[in-house]
Amino acid sequence: MKKSMKALMITAMAAATVLAGCSSKPAETQAPAAETTAEGTTAGDTAADTTAADTAADGASYTVGIGQFAAHGSLDNCREGFIQGLADAGIVEGQNLTILYENAQADGGTASQINTNFAAKNVDLICGIATPMAQSAYGVAKKANIPVIYTAVTDPVAAELAGADGTPVGEITGTSDTLPVKQQLEMIRAMLPDAKTIGIMYTTSEVNSISTIAQYKEAAPEYGFEIVETGISATADVPLAADSLLGKVDCVTNLTDNTVVASLPVILDKAAKKNIPVFGSEIEQVKIGCLAAMGLDYVQLGKQTGAMAAKVLKGEAKASEMNYEVIAEAAFYGNEKVAENLGLTIPEDLADTAAEIFTEITQ
């Protein structure tokens, strides 16, 4: 993890400071967050080469590459939680941690470029946020002997990042945002007692979505539902696919599909005009206009991931020694304003146990 080289550099800097008669306070140089666009251009690339000069009490400092597959609330929350999880373990940005952050804007080619860039900078660890980014990170990092910690990977086994027993396939582990499918179906039935069909839009190239749809299809009959699915390959497909899907179903439930979530406002607008409820999979989706969700708290998921990454960085464990983890409990989130617009009422038993009920729609 380059600790020996960094320690020598710090010693040399300190000696030079004494000879010059300058202040003994070490200089702070921190790379600003770099953002990659869908075209693959990077802002702040030169500055990103700079490593933090501040060190922990034991002299160790770290550089972590955070690659995020798409820009939307749940993945942003994962990143925020991941950084907090590291900080809780004493690895703090601007002190003993330099973060190189880039966003692929839901483009697989850009995700590959980002991870290749991280490997070229010889980072200590890569955090891959969302399944496509995690897969890309591992493909690049294993050749460079860089550990990978992922988060928001719905099915690590289907993504070939873990074995059937949860053990890592190499120096890679992290946290899964596996959806509580049966709890979601039970909640939808409670809110829509007469509904028969549930629509799901998904990206055909996202293995996480394909895996979750299979779970929905298996469980739906138990709750008296039929699943109607529509696949897309890119963001441009969403408007037409939404029009088609909304004409066939009583309601829609949303997955953690990155391309679909990034276009969720389009789907919500079209559904509202047809008075069709849309259910989310996590808190941010409910905030912006989904009726309700039995969902996850992605900040907490990120914190859990950051704690795992800290163990790897400190040498307390290898990524290959830790099975992937999941959040134990889902929580109910509802939006009273959306319910009012649809002429519905959130059942009292759900409202009473809710993690949060929103009274407005945020854009």
Mean pLDDT of 65-94: 96
In a shared domain, residues 67 and 166? yes
Alpha helix (H) residue ranges in 33-101: 73-88
Contact 229, 202 (CB under 8 A): yes
In a shared domain, residues 144 and 198? no
> Does residue 55 form part of some domain?
no
Judge whether residue 297 has pLDDT over 80. Answer: yes
Which pLDDT tens digit goes with each residue over 135-188? 999 999 999 999 999 999 999 999 999 999 999 999 999 999 999 999 999 999
Mean pLDDT of 226-230: 98
Judge whether residue 42 has pLDDT over 90. Answer: no
Half-sphere exposure in the Cβ direction for 77 (13 Å, CA):
15
In a shared domain, residues 303 and 288? no
Judge whether residue 114 has pLDDT over 70. Answer: yes
pLDDT value, residue 13: 39
Q: What distance, in Å, lies between the first and last C-alpha atoms of the chain?
A: 42
pLDDT band at 74 (very low <50, low <70, confident <90, very high): confident
pLDDT band at 7 (very low <50, low <70, confident <90, very high): very low
Of residues 19 and 134, the one with the higher pLDDT is 134
> Does residue 351 form part of some domain?
yes
Judge whether residue 302 has pLDDT over 80. Answer: yes
Count of CB atoms situated within 10 Å of the CB of 114: 31
**CA-CA-CA-CA torsion sign (162, 167, 172, 175):** positive
> Which residues contact residue 292 at a Cβ distance below 8 angstroms, ignoring those fewer than 6 apart?
187, 191, 279, 280, 286, 332, 333, 334, 335, 339, 346, 350
Mean pLDDT of the chain: 86
Judge whether residue 54 has pLDDT over 60. Answer: no
SS3 assignment, position 28: coil
In a shared domain, residues 137 and 250? no
In a shared domain, residues 270 and 189? yes
> Does residue 192 form part of some domain?
yes
Closest CA to 13 of 61, 68, 71, 75: 61
In a shared domain, residues 345 and 198? yes
> Does residue 122 form part of some domain?
yes
> Does residue 15 form part of some domain?
no
Which pLDDT tens digit goes with each residue over 283-296? 899 999 999 999 88
Contact 295, 282 (CB under 8 A): yes
DSSP state of 282: B
pLDDT band at 241 (very low <50, low <70, confident <90, very high): very high
Q: Which structural domain, as residue segments, surrounds residue 340?
A: 181-295+330-358
- Cα–Cα distance between 253 and 163 in angstroms, integer? 29
pLDDT value, residue 94: 96
Predicted TM-score (pTM) of the model is 0.73
Judge whether residue 271 has pLDDT over 70. Answer: yes
Domain CATH code at residue 185: 3.40.50.2300
DSSP state of 321: G
In a shared domain, residues 244 and 110? no
Closest CA to 178 of 299, 69, 260, 282: 282
> Does residue 363 form part of some domain?
no
Half-sphere exposure in the Cβ direction for 51 (13 Å, CA):
20
In a shared domain, residues 223 and 344? yes
> Does residue 22 form part of some domain?
no
pLDDT value, residue 328: 66
In a shared domain, residues 267 and 137? no
pLDDT band at 46 (very low <50, low <70, confident <90, very high): very low
Out of 96-100, 250-254, 259-263, least confident range: 259-263
Could you tell me the two tokens for 174? 């992290």
In a shared domain, residues 114 and 198? no
In a shared domain, residues 286 and 308? no
Judge whether residue 122 has pLDDT over 90. Answer: yes
Q: How many domains does the chain have?
A: 2
Contact 161, 135 (CB under 8 A): yes
pLDDT value, residue 161: 97
In a shared domain, residues 310 and 334? no
Which pLDDT tens digit goes with each residue over 303-314? 999 999 999 999
Judge whether residue 22 has pLDDT over 60. Answer: no
Of residues 218 and 74, the one with the higher pLDDT is 218
